[in-house]
Amino acid sequence: MFEPFYISFKLASITVLILFLISLPLSWYLSQTQSKIKPFIEALTALPIVLPPSVLGFYILVALSQNSPLGTFFKDTFDISLVFNFTSLVIASCFYSLPFMVQPLQSGFESLNKNILEASYLCGKSKLQTILFVALPNIKPALITAIIITFAHTVGEFGVVLMVGGSIPGETKVASVAIYEMVEIMDYKGAHIYSAIMLGMSFIVLLSVYTFNAKHKRKFGL
Amino acid sequence: MININIKKTLHGVNGPMNLDIDLSIKQGEFIALTGPSGSGKTTLLRVLAGLEVAEGEIEVNKSFWLKNNKSIKAKKRSIGFMHQENALFPNMSILQNLLFVINDLELALRLLSLAGLTELQDRYPKTLSGGQKQRVSLCRAMMRKPDILLLDEPLSALDAKMRTQLQSKILALHKEFNTTTIMVSHEPSEIYKLSTRTIILDNGHIIKDGKTQEVLLKSQGSQKFSFEGELLELKEADVIIIAIVAIGQQIVEIVVSKKEALDLQVGQTVIVGTKAFAPTILCPSR
Protein backbone atom coordinates (compact mmCIF):
# COMPACT_ATOMS: atom_id res chain seq x y z
CA MET A 1 0.00 0.00 0.00
CA PHE A 2 2.83 2.37 0.72
CA GLU A 3 4.85 1.54 -2.37
CA PRO A 4 4.42 5.07 -3.83
CA PHE A 5 6.14 6.46 -0.72
CA TYR A 6 8.98 4.02 -1.16
CA ILE A 7 9.41 5.17 -4.77
CA SER A 8 9.23 8.83 -3.74
CA PHE A 9 11.96 8.37 -1.13
CA LYS A 10 14.16 6.28 -3.39
CA LEU A 11 13.81 8.93 -6.08
CA ALA A 12 14.55 11.76 -3.65
CA SER A 13 17.60 10.02 -2.17
CA ILE A 14 19.15 9.31 -5.55
CA THR A 15 18.36 12.84 -6.74
CA VAL A 16 19.98 14.40 -3.66
CA LEU A 17 23.11 12.33 -4.14
CA ILE A 18 23.49 13.16 -7.83
CA LEU A 19 22.60 16.83 -7.36
CA PHE A 20 25.05 17.20 -4.48
CA LEU A 21 27.89 15.94 -6.65
CA ILE A 22 26.89 18.23 -9.53
CA SER A 23 26.09 21.27 -7.41
CA LEU A 24 29.18 21.25 -5.24
CA PRO A 25 31.60 22.31 -8.01
CA LEU A 26 28.93 24.44 -9.72
CA SER A 27 27.98 26.43 -6.61
CA TRP A 28 31.65 26.81 -5.62
CA TYR A 29 32.43 28.16 -9.08
CA LEU A 30 29.50 30.59 -8.93
CA SER A 31 30.49 31.78 -5.47
CA GLN A 32 34.11 32.48 -6.44
CA THR A 33 33.92 33.70 -10.04
CA GLN A 34 33.64 37.25 -11.26
CA SER A 35 33.12 36.11 -14.82
CA LYS A 36 30.59 37.82 -17.06
CA ILE A 37 28.80 34.56 -17.79
CA LYS A 38 27.90 34.13 -14.11
CA PRO A 39 24.43 35.75 -14.45
CA PHE A 40 23.61 33.48 -17.38
CA ILE A 41 24.49 30.37 -15.44
CA GLU A 42 22.60 31.66 -12.43
CA ALA A 43 19.53 32.40 -14.53
CA LEU A 44 19.67 28.95 -16.12
CA THR A 45 19.94 27.16 -12.80
CA ALA A 46 17.09 29.21 -11.34
CA LEU A 47 14.73 28.53 -14.27
CA PRO A 48 13.06 25.45 -12.71
CA ILE A 49 11.78 27.65 -9.87
CA VAL A 50 9.73 29.87 -12.14
CA LEU A 51 8.86 27.54 -15.01
CA PRO A 52 5.56 25.68 -14.80
CA PRO A 53 6.46 22.02 -14.17
CA SER A 54 4.51 21.12 -17.30
CA VAL A 55 6.85 23.24 -19.42
CA LEU A 56 9.91 21.62 -17.88
CA GLY A 57 8.30 18.19 -18.23
CA PHE A 58 7.40 18.85 -21.83
CA TYR A 59 10.96 19.81 -22.83
CA ILE A 60 12.47 16.90 -20.95
CA LEU A 61 9.99 14.59 -22.63
CA VAL A 62 10.89 15.99 -26.04
CA ALA A 63 14.61 15.78 -25.33
CA LEU A 64 14.56 12.24 -24.03
CA SER A 65 11.88 10.60 -26.18
CA GLN A 66 12.81 7.88 -28.60
CA ASN A 67 12.47 10.28 -31.52
CA SER A 68 15.10 12.62 -30.16
CA PRO A 69 18.82 12.17 -30.92
CA LEU A 70 19.56 11.50 -27.26
CA GLY A 71 16.72 9.01 -26.91
CA THR A 72 17.71 7.24 -30.13
CA PHE A 73 21.32 7.04 -28.99
CA PHE A 74 20.43 5.43 -25.66
CA LYS A 75 17.93 3.10 -27.30
CA ASP A 76 20.40 1.93 -29.97
CA THR A 77 23.51 1.72 -27.77
CA PHE A 78 22.28 0.55 -24.39
CA ASP A 79 18.74 -0.52 -25.25
CA ILE A 80 17.44 1.82 -22.56
CA SER A 81 14.35 3.92 -22.92
CA LEU A 82 14.67 7.31 -21.22
CA VAL A 83 10.99 8.06 -20.75
CA PHE A 84 8.23 6.53 -18.66
CA ASN A 85 10.54 4.69 -16.31
CA PHE A 86 12.42 5.34 -13.09
CA THR A 87 15.57 6.59 -14.85
CA SER A 88 13.58 9.33 -16.55
CA LEU A 89 12.17 10.37 -13.17
CA VAL A 90 15.70 10.75 -11.79
CA ILE A 91 16.79 12.85 -14.78
CA ALA A 92 13.71 15.05 -14.57
CA SER A 93 14.06 15.47 -10.80
CA CYS A 94 17.67 16.53 -11.15
CA PHE A 95 16.61 19.40 -13.40
CA TYR A 96 13.57 20.22 -11.33
CA SER A 97 15.40 20.38 -7.98
CA LEU A 98 18.73 21.78 -9.17
CA PRO A 99 18.20 25.35 -7.85
CA PHE A 100 17.25 24.05 -4.42
CA MET A 101 20.66 22.47 -4.08
CA VAL A 102 22.75 25.10 -5.87
CA GLN A 103 21.34 28.27 -4.33
CA PRO A 104 21.79 27.50 -0.61
CA LEU A 105 25.28 26.12 -1.22
CA GLN A 106 26.24 29.13 -3.30
CA SER A 107 25.02 31.66 -0.77
CA GLY A 108 26.69 29.62 1.96
CA PHE A 109 30.02 29.73 0.15
CA GLU A 110 29.56 33.44 -0.58
CA SER A 111 28.96 34.18 3.08
CA LEU A 112 32.26 32.63 4.11
CA ASN A 113 34.90 35.06 5.23
CA LYS A 114 37.42 35.22 2.39
CA ASN A 115 40.26 35.28 4.91
CA ILE A 116 39.69 31.71 6.03
CA LEU A 117 39.75 30.42 2.45
CA GLU A 118 42.99 32.30 1.77
CA ALA A 119 44.37 31.07 5.08
CA SER A 120 43.69 27.52 3.99
CA TYR A 121 45.56 28.00 0.70
CA LEU A 122 48.39 29.59 2.65
CA CYS A 123 48.42 26.55 4.92
CA GLY A 124 49.42 24.63 1.81
CA LYS A 125 46.00 23.19 1.03
CA SER A 126 44.52 22.63 -2.42
CA LYS A 127 41.10 23.91 -3.53
CA LEU A 128 39.51 20.52 -3.00
CA GLN A 129 40.96 20.19 0.51
CA THR A 130 39.80 23.73 1.24
CA ILE A 131 36.26 22.99 0.07
CA LEU A 132 36.01 19.72 1.98
CA PHE A 133 37.71 20.63 5.26
CA VAL A 134 37.22 24.37 5.57
CA ALA A 135 34.36 25.60 3.39
CA LEU A 136 31.78 22.83 3.84
CA PRO A 137 32.14 22.36 7.62
CA ASN A 138 31.69 26.10 8.07
CA ILE A 139 28.48 26.30 6.05
CA LYS A 140 26.71 23.39 7.75
CA PRO A 141 23.38 25.23 7.99
CA ALA A 142 23.44 25.94 4.24
CA LEU A 143 24.52 22.38 3.55
CA ILE A 144 21.73 20.87 5.65
CA THR A 145 19.22 23.28 4.12
CA ALA A 146 20.32 22.35 0.61
CA ILE A 147 20.12 18.60 1.20
CA ILE A 148 16.85 18.54 3.15
CA ILE A 149 15.01 21.03 0.96
CA THR A 150 16.14 19.24 -2.20
CA PHE A 151 14.95 15.96 -0.73
CA ALA A 152 11.60 17.41 0.35
CA HIS A 153 11.10 19.27 -2.90
CA THR A 154 11.73 16.09 -4.89
CA VAL A 155 9.26 14.14 -2.77
CA GLY A 156 6.76 16.93 -3.36
CA GLU A 157 7.08 17.18 -7.12
CA PHE A 158 4.06 16.30 -9.20
CA GLY A 159 3.72 17.86 -12.62
CA VAL A 160 7.12 16.95 -14.03
CA VAL A 161 6.88 13.40 -12.70
CA LEU A 162 3.49 12.88 -14.21
CA MET A 163 4.57 14.13 -17.62
CA VAL A 164 7.88 12.32 -17.84
CA GLY A 165 7.16 9.19 -15.86
CA GLY A 166 3.46 8.66 -16.12
CA SER A 167 1.99 6.58 -13.34
CA ILE A 168 3.29 3.05 -13.60
CA PRO A 169 2.71 1.26 -10.27
CA GLY A 170 5.95 0.16 -8.67
CA GLU A 171 8.02 2.08 -11.23
CA THR A 172 7.05 5.71 -11.56
CA LYS A 173 3.98 6.09 -9.39
CA VAL A 174 5.18 8.35 -6.59
CA ALA A 175 3.19 9.50 -3.55
CA SER A 176 2.01 12.81 -4.98
CA VAL A 177 0.76 11.14 -8.15
CA ALA A 178 -0.90 8.43 -6.08
CA ILE A 179 -2.87 11.08 -4.16
CA TYR A 180 -3.99 12.70 -7.41
CA GLU A 181 -5.28 9.34 -8.68
CA MET A 182 -7.01 8.51 -5.40
CA VAL A 183 -8.93 11.76 -5.58
CA GLU A 184 -9.85 11.02 -9.21
CA ILE A 185 -11.37 7.67 -8.25
CA MET A 186 -12.89 9.28 -5.13
CA ASP A 187 -10.86 7.19 -2.68
CA TYR A 188 -10.89 10.03 -0.14
CA LYS A 189 -9.84 7.83 2.74
CA GLY A 190 -6.60 6.85 1.00
CA ALA A 191 -6.02 10.44 -0.13
CA HIS A 192 -6.50 11.63 3.45
CA ILE A 193 -3.97 9.15 4.83
CA TYR A 194 -1.39 9.92 2.14
CA SER A 195 -1.87 13.67 2.40
CA ALA A 196 -1.66 13.63 6.19
CA ILE A 197 1.60 11.69 6.04
CA MET A 198 3.04 14.15 3.49
CA LEU A 199 1.91 17.14 5.54
CA GLY A 200 3.31 15.81 8.81
CA MET A 201 6.59 14.80 7.23
CA SER A 202 7.12 18.10 5.47
CA PHE A 203 6.51 20.01 8.69
CA ILE A 204 8.93 17.83 10.68
CA VAL A 205 11.59 18.20 8.00
CA LEU A 206 11.32 21.98 7.95
CA LEU A 207 11.18 22.18 11.73
CA SER A 208 14.36 20.15 12.08
CA VAL A 209 16.18 22.30 9.52
CA TYR A 210 15.31 25.52 11.33
CA THR A 211 16.09 24.05 14.76
CA PHE A 212 19.47 22.80 13.60
CA ASN A 213 20.38 26.11 12.02
CA ALA A 214 19.48 28.06 15.14
CA LYS A 215 21.57 25.71 17.31
CA HIS A 216 24.53 25.87 14.97
CA LYS A 217 24.44 29.64 14.94
CA ARG A 218 24.59 29.76 18.73
CA LYS A 219 27.47 27.30 18.89
CA PHE A 220 29.83 28.61 16.24
CA GLY A 221 28.55 32.12 15.70
CA LEU A 222 28.45 31.68 11.96
CA MET B 1 68.22 35.99 -0.11
CA ILE B 2 64.97 37.22 -1.56
CA ASN B 3 64.80 39.24 -4.74
CA ILE B 4 61.60 40.92 -5.71
CA ASN B 5 61.06 42.80 -8.93
CA ILE B 6 57.41 43.18 -9.73
CA LYS B 7 55.01 45.42 -11.58
CA LYS B 8 51.26 45.51 -11.31
CA THR B 9 48.53 47.98 -12.22
CA LEU B 10 46.18 48.61 -9.33
CA HIS B 11 42.78 50.23 -9.40
CA GLY B 12 42.73 52.25 -6.24
CA VAL B 13 40.38 54.92 -4.99
CA ASN B 14 42.37 57.58 -6.84
CA GLY B 15 42.19 55.85 -10.21
CA PRO B 16 44.78 53.47 -11.68
CA MET B 17 48.19 53.25 -10.02
CA ASN B 18 51.34 51.36 -10.91
CA LEU B 19 52.90 49.20 -8.27
CA ASP B 20 56.57 48.98 -9.16
CA ILE B 21 58.81 47.33 -6.61
CA ASP B 22 62.46 46.36 -6.84
CA LEU B 23 63.75 44.96 -3.60
CA SER B 24 66.36 42.63 -2.14
CA ILE B 25 65.94 41.17 1.30
CA LYS B 26 68.50 39.28 3.34
CA GLN B 27 67.67 36.10 5.22
CA GLY B 28 66.63 36.90 8.78
CA GLU B 29 65.72 40.55 8.25
CA PHE B 30 62.66 42.02 9.93
CA ILE B 31 61.16 44.51 7.53
CA ALA B 32 58.45 47.00 8.31
CA LEU B 33 56.38 48.10 5.36
CA THR B 34 54.64 51.39 5.88
CA GLY B 35 53.15 54.31 4.00
CA PRO B 36 49.74 55.90 3.41
CA SER B 37 46.75 53.65 2.87
CA GLY B 38 46.28 52.68 -0.75
CA SER B 39 50.02 52.85 -1.42
CA GLY B 40 50.24 49.15 -2.32
CA LYS B 41 51.60 47.62 0.90
CA THR B 42 49.00 44.92 1.26
CA THR B 43 49.07 44.19 -2.46
CA LEU B 44 52.82 43.64 -2.31
CA LEU B 45 52.32 41.21 0.55
CA ARG B 46 49.56 39.38 -1.31
CA VAL B 47 51.64 39.12 -4.46
CA LEU B 48 54.46 37.64 -2.39
CA ALA B 49 52.04 35.16 -0.86
CA GLY B 50 50.69 34.16 -4.27
CA LEU B 51 47.19 35.44 -3.56
CA GLU B 52 47.42 37.94 -6.39
CA VAL B 53 49.23 37.88 -9.70
CA ALA B 54 51.77 40.38 -10.97
CA GLU B 55 54.38 40.69 -13.70
CA GLY B 56 58.06 40.29 -12.96
CA GLU B 57 60.13 38.00 -10.81
CA ILE B 58 60.17 36.77 -7.26
CA GLU B 59 63.16 34.70 -6.26
CA VAL B 60 63.35 33.16 -2.83
CA ASN B 61 66.45 31.26 -1.79
CA LYS B 62 67.39 30.50 -5.40
CA SER B 63 63.99 29.16 -6.44
CA PHE B 64 61.63 31.26 -8.51
CA TRP B 65 58.11 31.85 -7.23
CA LEU B 66 57.35 34.09 -10.16
CA LYS B 67 59.13 34.27 -13.47
CA ASN B 68 58.04 34.86 -17.08
CA ASN B 69 54.40 35.06 -15.99
CA LYS B 70 54.68 31.62 -14.44
CA SER B 71 53.61 31.82 -10.86
CA ILE B 72 53.70 28.95 -8.41
CA LYS B 73 50.56 28.61 -6.33
CA ALA B 74 50.12 29.99 -2.83
CA LYS B 75 49.94 26.49 -1.36
CA LYS B 76 53.40 25.63 -2.71
CA ARG B 77 55.17 28.72 -1.37
CA SER B 78 56.95 28.52 1.95
CA ILE B 79 54.91 31.31 3.48
CA GLY B 80 53.46 32.08 6.86
CA PHE B 81 50.72 34.67 6.55
CA MET B 82 48.90 36.48 9.28
CA HIS B 83 45.74 38.36 8.35
CA GLN B 84 44.56 41.47 10.11
CA GLU B 85 41.78 39.48 11.75
CA ASN B 86 39.28 36.65 11.50
CA ALA B 87 41.27 34.06 9.63
CA LEU B 88 41.02 31.12 12.02
CA PHE B 89 38.94 28.13 10.98
CA PRO B 90 35.81 28.35 13.17
CA ASN B 91 35.06 24.64 12.87
CA MET B 92 38.37 23.56 14.38
CA SER B 93 39.76 23.86 17.89
CA ILE B 94 42.92 25.92 18.44
CA LEU B 95 45.12 22.84 18.29
CA GLN B 96 43.30 21.53 15.21
CA ASN B 97 43.81 24.90 13.54
CA LEU B 98 47.55 24.36 13.86
CA LEU B 99 47.56 20.66 13.04
CA PHE B 100 45.51 21.33 9.89
CA VAL B 101 48.62 22.92 8.40
CA ILE B 102 51.00 20.06 9.18
CA ASN B 103 50.29 17.12 11.43
CA ASP B 104 53.20 17.82 13.76
CA LEU B 105 51.91 17.70 17.32
CA GLU B 106 55.28 18.42 18.89
CA LEU B 107 55.78 21.63 16.92
CA ALA B 108 52.19 22.72 17.53
CA LEU B 109 52.50 22.27 21.28
CA ARG B 110 55.82 24.07 21.32
CA LEU B 111 54.38 27.04 19.44
CA LEU B 112 51.33 27.15 21.69
CA SER B 113 53.48 27.16 24.77
CA LEU B 114 55.73 29.89 23.33
CA ALA B 115 52.62 31.99 22.75
CA GLY B 116 51.20 31.17 26.17
CA LEU B 117 48.19 29.38 24.72
CA THR B 118 48.67 25.86 26.05
CA GLU B 119 45.61 26.02 28.26
CA LEU B 120 43.38 27.19 25.43
CA GLN B 121 44.33 24.48 22.94
CA ASP B 122 40.96 22.72 23.01
CA ARG B 123 38.85 25.86 22.82
CA TYR B 124 37.19 27.05 19.62
CA PRO B 125 38.07 30.42 18.01
CA LYS B 126 34.67 31.91 18.79
CA THR B 127 35.41 31.79 22.53
CA LEU B 128 38.75 33.62 22.32
CA SER B 129 39.52 37.33 22.68
CA GLY B 130 40.90 39.32 19.76
CA GLY B 131 44.45 39.16 21.10
CA GLN B 132 44.28 35.42 21.73
CA LYS B 133 42.96 34.84 18.23
CA GLN B 134 45.87 36.76 16.73
CA ARG B 135 48.34 34.77 18.81
CA VAL B 136 46.82 31.55 17.46
CA SER B 137 46.96 33.01 13.97
CA LEU B 138 50.67 33.75 14.48
CA CYS B 139 51.36 30.20 15.71
CA ARG B 140 49.50 28.76 12.74
CA ALA B 141 51.55 30.90 10.36
CA MET B 142 54.72 29.41 11.87
CA MET B 143 53.60 25.78 11.48
CA ARG B 144 55.21 25.43 8.05
CA LYS B 145 58.48 26.88 9.37
CA PRO B 146 58.17 29.35 6.52
CA ASP B 147 60.99 31.02 4.63
CA ILE B 148 59.02 34.24 4.79
CA LEU B 149 56.58 35.37 7.45
CA LEU B 150 54.12 37.96 6.16
CA LEU B 151 52.13 40.02 8.63
CA ASP B 152 49.36 42.22 7.26
CA GLU B 153 48.69 44.81 9.96
CA PRO B 154 48.41 41.96 12.44
CA LEU B 155 47.88 44.11 15.51
CA SER B 156 45.82 47.00 14.20
CA ALA B 157 42.54 45.62 15.53
CA LEU B 158 43.87 45.24 19.07
CA ASP B 159 44.10 47.61 22.00
CA ALA B 160 47.44 49.07 23.12
CA LYS B 161 48.13 46.57 25.89
CA MET B 162 47.41 43.56 23.69
CA ARG B 163 49.59 45.04 20.99
CA THR B 164 52.59 45.31 23.26
CA GLN B 165 52.14 41.70 24.36
CA LEU B 166 51.88 40.42 20.85
CA GLN B 167 54.80 42.45 19.58
CA SER B 168 57.13 40.57 21.89
CA LYS B 169 55.67 37.22 20.75
CA ILE B 170 56.21 38.14 17.13
CA LEU B 171 59.80 39.12 17.81
CA ALA B 172 60.41 35.96 19.84
CA LEU B 173 59.13 33.69 17.08
CA HIS B 174 60.98 35.63 14.41
CA LYS B 175 64.24 35.00 16.28
CA GLU B 176 63.47 31.44 17.36
CA PHE B 177 62.79 30.28 13.80
CA ASN B 178 65.26 32.63 12.12
CA THR B 179 62.63 33.52 9.56
CA THR B 180 62.53 36.54 7.27
CA THR B 181 59.63 38.71 8.30
CA ILE B 182 57.76 41.43 6.45
CA MET B 183 55.18 43.34 8.43
CA VAL B 184 52.75 46.00 7.27
CA SER B 185 52.27 48.54 10.04
CA HIS B 186 51.22 52.14 10.62
CA GLU B 187 52.50 52.34 14.18
CA PRO B 188 55.91 53.98 14.47
CA SER B 189 56.45 52.61 17.97
CA GLU B 190 55.69 49.11 16.74
CA ILE B 191 57.99 49.53 13.76
CA TYR B 192 60.75 50.84 15.98
CA LYS B 193 60.48 47.99 18.46
CA LEU B 194 60.33 45.15 15.95
CA SER B 195 61.96 45.93 12.67
CA THR B 196 65.56 46.28 11.57
CA ARG B 197 64.71 47.84 8.23
CA THR B 198 61.85 50.09 7.19
CA ILE B 199 60.46 50.61 3.73
CA ILE B 200 58.04 53.41 3.01
CA LEU B 201 55.75 53.01 0.02
CA ASP B 202 53.87 55.80 -1.63
CA ASN B 203 51.72 55.53 -4.71
CA GLY B 204 53.13 52.10 -5.53
CA HIS B 205 56.79 53.10 -5.28
CA ILE B 206 59.45 52.79 -2.61
CA ILE B 207 60.21 56.31 -1.44
CA LYS B 208 62.42 55.40 1.51
CA ASP B 209 64.33 52.27 2.39
CA GLY B 210 66.88 52.00 5.18
CA LYS B 211 67.63 51.16 8.75
CA THR B 212 64.53 51.67 10.85
CA GLN B 213 66.13 54.27 13.11
CA GLU B 214 67.40 56.32 10.19
CA VAL B 215 64.09 56.25 8.36
CA LEU B 216 61.95 57.03 11.36
CA LEU B 217 63.98 59.72 13.07
CA LYS B 218 63.27 62.98 11.36
CA SER B 219 64.90 66.24 12.29
CA GLN B 220 62.44 68.79 13.55
CA GLY B 221 62.35 72.56 13.57
CA SER B 222 62.48 74.34 16.90
CA GLN B 223 58.99 75.73 17.12
CA LYS B 224 57.31 75.73 20.48
CA PHE B 225 55.50 72.51 21.16
CA SER B 226 54.31 70.18 23.86
CA PHE B 227 53.28 66.67 22.93
CA GLU B 228 52.48 63.50 24.75
CA GLY B 229 54.39 60.42 23.64
CA GLU B 230 55.66 57.00 24.58
CA LEU B 231 59.28 56.67 25.74
CA LEU B 232 60.80 53.89 23.66
CA GLU B 233 64.44 53.83 24.57
CA LEU B 234 67.15 55.58 26.57
CA LYS B 235 70.47 55.51 24.74
CA GLU B 236 73.67 56.47 26.51
CA ALA B 237 76.02 58.65 24.43
CA ASP B 238 79.08 59.83 26.34
CA VAL B 239 77.94 62.17 29.09
CA ILE B 240 74.43 62.66 27.82
CA ILE B 241 71.51 60.30 27.27
CA ILE B 242 69.29 60.26 24.22
CA ALA B 243 65.61 59.51 24.79
CA ILE B 244 63.70 58.06 21.86
CA VAL B 245 60.03 59.02 22.03
CA ALA B 246 57.07 58.07 19.82
CA ILE B 247 54.71 60.98 19.36
CA GLY B 248 51.69 60.21 17.23
CA GLN B 249 53.03 59.01 13.90
CA GLN B 250 56.56 60.16 14.57
CA ILE B 251 59.67 59.12 16.45
CA VAL B 252 61.90 61.82 17.95
CA GLU B 253 65.23 61.89 19.71
CA ILE B 254 65.61 64.09 22.77
CA VAL B 255 68.74 64.81 24.74
CA VAL B 256 68.42 64.44 28.49
CA SER B 257 70.96 64.58 31.27
CA LYS B 258 71.84 61.51 33.31
CA LYS B 259 70.05 63.00 36.27
CA GLU B 260 66.87 63.58 34.29
CA ALA B 261 67.09 60.05 32.91
CA LEU B 262 66.92 58.56 36.40
CA ASP B 263 63.27 59.57 36.59
CA LEU B 264 62.40 58.04 33.25
CA GLN B 265 61.38 54.50 32.42
CA VAL B 266 61.07 52.91 28.99
CA GLY B 267 57.42 52.34 28.09
CA GLN B 268 56.28 55.32 30.13
CA THR B 269 54.05 58.06 28.73
CA VAL B 270 55.91 61.37 28.75
CA ILE B 271 55.33 64.92 27.65
CA VAL B 272 57.83 66.45 25.26
CA GLY B 273 57.95 70.22 25.17
CA THR B 274 60.20 73.13 24.49
CA LYS B 275 60.60 76.42 26.27
CA ALA B 276 63.33 77.97 24.20
CA PHE B 277 65.41 75.96 21.71
CA ALA B 278 66.22 72.69 23.42
CA PRO B 279 63.24 70.44 24.01
CA THR B 280 62.85 69.26 27.58
CA ILE B 281 61.25 66.05 28.62
CA LEU B 282 58.91 65.74 31.58
CA CYS B 283 56.89 63.08 33.30
CA PRO B 284 53.20 64.04 33.21
CA SER B 285 52.69 63.20 36.89
CA ARG B 286 55.19 65.80 38.02
* Closest residue, chain B, to A219 (C-alpha): B126
Confirm whether the ipTM is greater than 0.85: no
Residue A74 located in a structural domain = no
Q: Strand B240-247's sheet: what is its strand order?
A: B250-256, B240-247, B226-237, B269-274, B279-282
Residue B221 located in a structural domain = no
- Shortest distance between the Cα of B16 and any Cα of chain A, in A, equals 20
Residue A77 located in a structural domain = no
B contacts of A134 (beta carbons < 8 Å):
89, 91
Query: Count of domains in chain A?
Result: 1
Provide residues of B within 8 Å CB-CB of chain A.
Answer: 49-51, 73-76, 79-81, 83, 85-91, 100-102, 124, 126, 140-141, 143-144
Mean pLDDT by 10-residue block, N- to C-terminus, for chain B (286 residues)?
90 82 93 89 92 91 87 88 89 95 94 91 92 92 92 86 86 91 90 92 90 71 63 86 86 85 83 69 66
Residue B233 maps to which CATH number?
2.40.50
Q: What confidence score (pLDDT) does residue B220 get? A: 37
- For B280, the enclosing helix (H) or strand (E) is strand B279-282
Domain range holding A106? 3-51+98-160+167-220
Tell me: do B73 and B206 sit in the same domain.
yes
Residue B249: count other Cβ atoms within 10 Å of its Cβ: 11
Domain boundary among B170, B193, B215: B215
Tell me: do B119 and B250 sit in the same domain.
no
Q: What confidence score (pLDDT) does residue B124 get? A: 93
Domain boundary among B159, B189, B215: B215
Residue A127 maps to which CATH number?
1.10.3720.10
| Partner-chain contact B140 A138, CB within 8 Å | no
Domain range holding B26? 2-215
Q: What confidence score (pLDDT) does residue B68 get? A: 83
Tell me: do B117 and B185 sit in the same domain.
yes
A contacts of B96 (beta carbons < 8 Å):
none
Residue B149 located in a structural domain = yes
Residue A147 located in a structural domain = yes
Residue A81 located in a structural domain = no
Mean pLDDT by 10-residue block, N- to C-terminus, for chain A (222 residues)?
88 96 96 93 94 92 86 85 87 94 96 93 93 94 92 91 88 90 93 93 88 82 56
Phi-psi region of B150 (alpha: psi -120 to 50; beta: other; left: phi over 0): beta
Residue A199 located in a structural domain = yes
Chain centroid to CA B278: 32
Residue A35 located in a structural domain = yes
* Per-residue pLDDT reduced to its tens digit, A92-109: 999 999 999 999 999 999
Tell me: do B38 and B162 sit in the same domain.
yes
Task: Please give the torsion angle defined by the CA atoms of residues B167, B168, B169 and B173, in that order, rounded to the nearest 10 degrees.
Answer: 110
Tell me: do B234 and B201 sit in the same domain.
no
Cα A123 from Cα B149, distance rounded (Å): 12
Query: Count of domains in chain B?
Result: 2
* Closest residue, chain B, to A129 (C-alpha): B100
Tell me: do B188 and B278 sit in the same domain.
no
Tell me: do B209 and B230 sit in the same domain.
no
Nearest to A119 among B50, B73, B83 (CB): B83
Find which of A116, A123, A132, A134 to mutate to test the B interface (most B CBs within 10 Å of its CB): A123
Q: What is the 3-state secondary structure (H, E, C) of chain A?
A: CCHHHHHHHHHHHHHHHHHHHHHHHHHHHHHHCCCCCHHHHHHHHHHHHHCCHHHHHHHHHHHHCCCCHHHHHHHHHHCCCCCCCHHHHHHHHHHHHHHHHHHHHHHHHHHCCHHHHHHHHHCCCCHHHHHHHHHHHHHHHHHHHHHHHHHHHHHCCCHHHHHHHCCCCCCCCCHHHHHHHHHHCCCHHHHHHHHHHHHHHHHHHHHHHHHHHHHHHHHHCC
Residue B68 located in a structural domain = yes
Residue A126 located in a structural domain = yes
Q: What confidence score (pLDDT) does residue A129 get? A: 94
User: Helix or strand or coil: residue B9?
Assistant: strand
Under a CB-based contact definition with an 8 Å cutoff, are residues B272 and B229 in contact?
Answer: yes
B contacts of A116 (beta carbons < 8 Å):
86-90
Tell me: do B156 and B274 sit in the same domain.
no
Under a CB-based contact definition with an 8 Å cutoff, are residues A16 and A150 in contact?
Answer: yes
Q: How far is CA B138 from CA A137, B107, B117, B212, in A?
A: 23, 13, 11, 23
Q: What confidence score (pLDDT) does residue B219 get? A: 38
Nearest to A121 among B74, B141, B144 (CB): B74
Closest listed residue to residue B281, CA positions, set B242, B248, B250, B249 = B242
* Per-residue pLDDT reduced to its tens digit, A122-132: 999 999 999 99
Residue B125 located in a structural domain = yes
Tell me: do B232 and B211 sit in the same domain.
no
Long-range CB contacts (within 8 A, 24+) of A178-187? A178/A4
- Shortest distance between the Cα of A113 and any Cα of chain B, in A, equals 8
Tell me: do B175 and B234 sit in the same domain.
no
Tell me: do B157 and B240 sit in the same domain.
no
* Closest residue, chain A, to B85 (C-alpha): A115
Backbone angles phi, psi at B143, to 5 degrees: -60, -30
Nearest to B86 among A115, A124, A220 (CB): A115
DSSP-assigned letters across all residues of B177-231: TT-EEEEE---HHHHHHH-SEEEEEETTEEEEEEEHHHHHB--------EEEEEE
Residue A103 located in a structural domain = yes
Tell me: do B179 and B269 sit in the same domain.
no
A107 Cβ partners below 8 Å, 6+ apart?
A31, A142
Residue B118 maps to which CATH number?
3.40.50.300
Find which of B84, B98, B100 to mutate to test the A interface (most A CBs within 10 Å of its CB): B100
